[in-house]
Structure 1
Amino acid sequence: MKNTFLQAIKLSLACLILLSGIYTLLIFGIAQAAPNHGKGEVVSANGKTYYANIGQSFTSDKYFNSRPSAVAYNAAGSGGSNKGPSNSEYLAEVQKRIDTILILNPDMKRSAIPADLVTASGSGLDPHISVLAAKFQIKRIAKARNIKVNQLETLIENHTEKALLGLFGPEKINVLELNIALDKLK
């Protein structure tokens, strides 16, 4: 029994040193070799600094709307709502989002609303929307900015991130980068 107890203590100390010390230093070292030293992708526009890899709130008619956030876009408290599709509170929240989208986009049908415009991601901080979600918003933005629809279609096409190796993951668009490019259109 005493022998087993000592082995357990040795194993615990070895894991503590390996996982709390060596592994942490290894990950920190890798982060220092990354762009911006592991602090995220920083984007500056209009005199402000943003993190492109964290979702931002855009609610103006002149901008592409982001995916809803379960944590109010607060990166310090990442997480989903943990409410399932049978939860009445969750369903009411999604219905409210659908109603808002239909008010902002009166030319669109309820059946055409992409799911990522009414449901939050697992982290609540997803900076991307689908290409379909961006295209859904074109008419509203064209009207609000007095821009031709084909200009917005070209902008979306130019900011679409393709699937990794053409196979893994969906095509997506970073909303912050798209809206910054939208501000640069004349």
Structure 2
Amino acid sequence: MKKYIWPSVKLTLFMVLVLAVLYPSLIAAVGKAAPGKGKGETLSVNGVVVGYENVGQRFTEDKYFNGRPSAVDYNAAGSAGSNKGISNPDYQKTVQERIDSFLAHNPGVQKEDIPAELVTASGSGLDPDISPAAAMIQVKRIAATRRLPEHRLQTLIADQTHRPLLGFAGPEKVNVLKLNIALDTLK
């Protein structure tokens, strides 16, 4: 029995060293070498940090593009989905409330035209991006509120759209915070 205990203890100590010291140290070093030094990439306007590039934010004013709803109220410390299935009555009620709110703020839009991402939360609850179609459906509201021609907003969306990697890997997407920052710079 002794011949099995000592190798097991050595293996356990070795794995503790690798998995509890070396691996976390390596990941921390990679994070420090990344943009933002492992603390996330902040976006600033006139030297003032207005948000993080990879974390969704709430925009409630009609003069801004709305992002994807959050199941965690945009709290990055509590990143999570709601874990409620589409047949759950509470989930259905929440989605219906979001649909009703969207329709109230976007007259002329039909319920069936609303992209699902504008009324359903992402798995993390913090998704910073929407599809170009989700941005385009909000153009009429923002153009009317800001008294801008719709074609300027459509051009802005096209300029802010990130294309798929290599032209096919992933969907087209628009970062809502960056889009709203660019929107504020329009004259």
- TM-score interval for Structure 1 and Structure 2 normalised by the shorter chain: over 0.9
Further displaced range: 60-69 or 3-12: 3-12
Distance in 2, matches of 1:154 and 1:178, equals 11
- Partner of 1:3 in structure 2? 3
Amino acid at match of 2:85: G
Tell me the residue number matched to 1:57.
58
SS of the counterpart of 1:50?
Answer: strand
Query: Aligned Cα RMSD in Å?
Result: 1.2
Residues 152, 68 of structure 1: alpha-carbon distance in 2 compared, 3 angstrom cutoff: same
Residue 131 of structure 2 is aligned to residue 130 of structure 1: yes
Contact residue 42 and residue 49 of structure 2 kept, 8 A: no
Alignment partners' CA distance in 2, 1:9 and 1:110: 63
- Post-superposition CA distance 1:101-154 (Å, at most 9, x none): 010111110010001000000000010011110001000000010000000000
| Partner secondary structure for residue 40 of structure 1 | coil
Secondary structure of the equivalent of 1:36? coil
Q: Kindly provide the amino acid, as one letter, of the partner of residue 11 in structure 1.
A: L
Query: Normalising by structure 1, what TM-score?
Result: 0.96
1:76-112 deviation per Cα after TM superposition (whole angstroms, max 9, x unaligned): 1100000011111001100100010010111110010
1:168, distance to aligned residue in structure 2 (A):
1.2
Q: Does 1:93 align with 2:94?
A: yes
CA–CA distance in structure 2, aligned partners of residues 170 and 4 of structure 1 = 53
- Give how far 1:7 is off: 3.2
Identity of aligned residues (%): 55
Paired residues in the alignment total 186
2:145 counterpart of 1:151: no
Tell me which amino acid in the other structure corresponds to 1:45: V
Other-structure match for 2:16: 16
Runs of 4+ in 1 over 4 A off after TM superposition: none
Instruction: Letter of the 1:175 partner, please give it.
Output: V
Q: Tell me what 1:116 maps to.
A: 117
Q: Counterpart of 2:121 in 1: which secondary structure? A: coil
SS of residue paired to 2:43: strand
> Which runs of structure 2 are paired with 1:23-42 in the superposition (5 Å)?
23-42=23-42
Task: Find the counterpart in structure 2 of residue 172 from structure 1.
Answer: 173
> In 2, Cα distance between the equivalents of 1:25 and 1:160?
36
Alignment of 1:65-76 (within 5 A): 65-76=66-77
- SS of the residue corresponding to residue 84 of structure 1 reads coil
Q: What residue ranges of structure 2 are gaps of 5+ in the alignment?
A: none
Distance 1:48 1:38 in 2: 16
Q: TM-score, normalised by structure 2?
A: 0.95
- CA separation of 1:48 and 1:36: change in aligned 2, threshold 3 A: closer
| Per-residue deviation, residues 31-75 of structure 1 (Å, max 9, x unmatched) | 222122121111112634311111011011000001000000000
Structure 1 counterpart of 2:114, which letter? I
The CA deviation at 1:29 is 1.3
**Structure 1: unaligned runs, 5 residues or longer:** none
